[in-house]
Every structure is written in C-alpha cells, then in structure tokens.
A and B are shown apart, each in its own frame.
Chain A
C-alpha cells in the first residue's frame, strides 16, 4: 500500500523567512495530494491541494509543487508569520473517495 514520508519533523524559522516541507510517496497511482494544517488543540484543516495533472499551485503565501517522476511534493510558505506556527500534514490519495494516507507531520515554529 501507499506510504508517505515527510521531512523535516520539526522546523523553526524566523518571522518573514520561508519554510519548505517535503513529502515523498510510494504508489505511482496516487493522484491527489492535500496539505492540512493543525493548530494546537484544533482539528486539521485543508490549506492547499494539488492533483497529479498539475505541477504547481499557489494561493497567496503558500504554494505546493509536485514532481510525479520523483514521487515527491513540497509545501512552500513565504513571508512566514507567527500564526503559521502549527503542525502540517501532507497526504496522498488514490482514485475515488478520501482514503488518505498521511505523512507523520511537521511541527513548524515561526519565531518573532
């Protein structure tokens, strides 16, 4: 079955710097890759997603890139702010429905 790895497990950046989180997946049939943000004590919430027919997607300060050949995708956050501090999860999904396989998560800390 699908396996999703995520790096780094923790990441600290200065406010205003960029942050990059990388994920790799094992099943070439995966075709949908969402990113979820989980603030402390809260539920995960979708922040951006990308499908396998697209190489890059951007939404204001966040962007996701996908390399199908290498089977990896990355989350890029520019001009980080303290409210970006959270745990970020990448996920991969195959076909119908939402049987996501999540990565183990990255704890991002944005230092003032």
Chain B
C-alpha cells in the first residue's frame, strides 16, 4: 500500500530535550516536505527536499533541522524544543515534477512542556 508513515503519532517532551520525528514514504517520490498545523493558521511549510541531499527552508524553519540521506526518509529534528513548537506536524511527499498531489502522513501531535 502506497503511504507516508510518520512516527511517533503522539509525543510529549520537555523543553530542551532533542527529538526526532521520522517520515518514510514507499512511493519513490522525489519531493518531501514538513508542515506544522496550528489553529487559525492552516498548514505552514517548515522545510522541503527536492531530492537526496537537497533541502531548503520553507516559511517557518527556525528551530528545526532536516536531512535527506535516502530518498524514502525525511526526518524532522528539533535540537532544543520550546513550548512554541507545540503543534501538529505533517510530513508530505510527491512526485515533484511540476505541481502534483501531495500525500500526507498521519500527523504527529507534539507537546513541549
């Protein structure tokens, strides 16, 4: 089954404790991205990657890191999480050839206390 898988689905952590949210897709998509969803703000792009070893900042990259060492994986790293990073996070992937459908993961609800 074609899918984008994020882990974990839920995470509660403390301020300053490094964490990683994993994202994996099995559709051989070139393009992957991370969004955060906050009430009244919609989905805002954090980082995106157009291929292996190619990453770039989205609209809200501060406090986040990503890497793309393999085509299928695109982890999101919070080196020192803060309470304002409490949010619902979505990973997405797509063909990247022109503008095509973005396939979203199930979401990760992160709470930083």
Contact = CB atoms under 8 A, between A and B. Distances in A.
Chain A complexes with chain B: yes
Interface of A: 1, 4, 6, 9, 31-32, 34, 43-46, 49, 51, 89, 91, 93, 95-105
A43 B100 contact: no
B98 A103 contact: no
B95 to A, nearest CB: 9
B43 A44 contact: yes
A27 to B, nearest CB: 13
Nearest to B6: A43
A97 B96 contact: yes
A104 B40 CA distance: 5
Interface in B56-96: 58-59, 90, 92, 94, 96
A43 B94 contact: no
A99 B98 contact: no
